[in-house]
Amino acid sequence: MTVITIYHNPACGTSRNTLAMIRNSDVEPTVIEYLKTPPSRETLVDLIARMGVPVRALLREKGTPFAELGLGDPSLSDDALLDAMMAHPILINRPIVVMPLGVRLCRPSELVLDILPDAQKTAFAKEDGEAVVDAAGNRLR
């Protein structure tokens, strides 16, 4: 059985679409609502390392205190950025999906299809109606 974890925000359409595509592959993931249960600093550092992205790449600007905290300052260290994410979990971009084939920030949501070990079982369209998977389970884009 494939073990998948998603760091999820149910208020985010991209996160909801990603979760739905995971479930469309007949897998029920472990869902961590990261605003209620934020990852520890150690876990967040591990996730970033496993994604192979800079810390700054995981910062969310829209709908967060990014600007008021001055996080756009390129001189800020990774530790300072991590401190901000620990103090304000809303700054952590989502959804982050963890599975045996890798860890990925799934923005856009269909990026999850690159690391899902099992095929989509049925057609899938995002909440906005955009078709992503056809009736045979094939990715459309």
Residues labelled catalytic: 12
Task: Quote the tokens at residue 107.
Answer: 């923005």
Instruction: Write the DSSP assignment of 34-89 as a string of letters.
Output: TTTSPPPHHHHHHHHHHHT--GGGGB--TTSSTTTTTTT-TT--HHHHHHHHHH-G
